[in-house]
């Protein structure tokens, strides 16, 4: 009871969000002021979906997409060891796939301060790189899956050929 009272009486910090251009392809950024804290959030504007959805399972998580004017939720990171002085922030872009329980969403990073110039570009490049790596990883998973399908099809065709050619 005491805990819920304390939580209820905590003031919600005022949040001001301003979109900023990164100059890096397929990334977007915002300067966010949460209470007294300045945060820069950068996210990939590329859509990401569950591999099973890509392979046609419509019950799996479809594309999670934040366009350049859709600022994801930014929150104080609550766990995990991090270097440097806090507070540390995280951009919440990942959503759980109900089917396989994997977290699906575009890469995103947050840094303290309102970054501009080369610091903003560096952060955006890092996000773009993470997004490209994730796409490449999805590509490899799809190839592995499709290669398995192709092999199964080839085996059944080979069996069929053997039956056809040797029974006459």
Residues lying near Zn ion in the complex (CB under 5 A) are found at 50, 52, 60, 97, 99-100
Q: Which residues pair with 28 in a beta bridge?
A: 43
Nearest approach, Cβ of 50 to Zn ion (angstroms)? 3
Of 125, 123, 127, 79, the residue nearest 105 (C-alpha): 127
Task: For tokens 């990401």, name the residue.
Answer: 48
Nearest approach, Cβ of 46 to Zn ion (angstroms)? 18
Q: Pick the closer one to Zn ion by CB: 99 or 125.
A: 99
Nearest approach, Cβ of 99 to Zn ion (angstroms)? 4
Q: Pick the closer one to Zn ion by CB: 65 or 99.
A: 99
135 to 54, 108, 139: CA distances (angstroms): 12, 14, 6
Half-sphere exposure for 73 (CA within 13 Å, toward CB):
8
Q: How far apart are CA 29 and CA 124, in angstroms?
A: 8
Nearest approach, Cβ of 95 to Zn ion (angstroms)? 10
Are 44 and 127 spatial neighbours (Cβ–Cβ below 8 Å)?
Answer: yes
* Number of Cβ within a 10 Å radius of residue 138: 15
Q: Pick the closer one to Zn ion by CB: 52 or 126.
A: 52
Nearest approach, Cβ of 96 to Zn ion (angstroms)? 9
């Amino acid at each position: 009871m005491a805990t819920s009272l304390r939580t209820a009486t905590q003031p919600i910090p005022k949040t001001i969000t301003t979109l900023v251009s990164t100059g890096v392809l397929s990334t977007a950024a915002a300067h966010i002021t949460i209470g007294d804290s300045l945060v820069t959030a950068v996210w990939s504007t590329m859509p990401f979906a569950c591999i099973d959805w890509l392979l046609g399972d419509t019950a799996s998580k479809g594309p999670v997409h934040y366009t350049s004017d859709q600022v994801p939720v930014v929150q104080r990171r609550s766990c995990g060891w991090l270097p440097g002085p806090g507070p540390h922030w995280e951009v919440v872009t990942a959503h759980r796939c109900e089917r396989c329980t994997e977290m699906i969403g575009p890469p995103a990073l947050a840094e303290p301060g309102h970054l501009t110039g080369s610091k903003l570009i560096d952060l955006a490049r890092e996000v773009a790189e993470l997004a490209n790596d994730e796409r490449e990883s999805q590509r490899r998973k799809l190839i592995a899956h499709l290669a398995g399908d192709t092999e199964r099809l080839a085996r059944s065709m080979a069996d069929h050929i053997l039956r056809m050619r040797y029974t006459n």
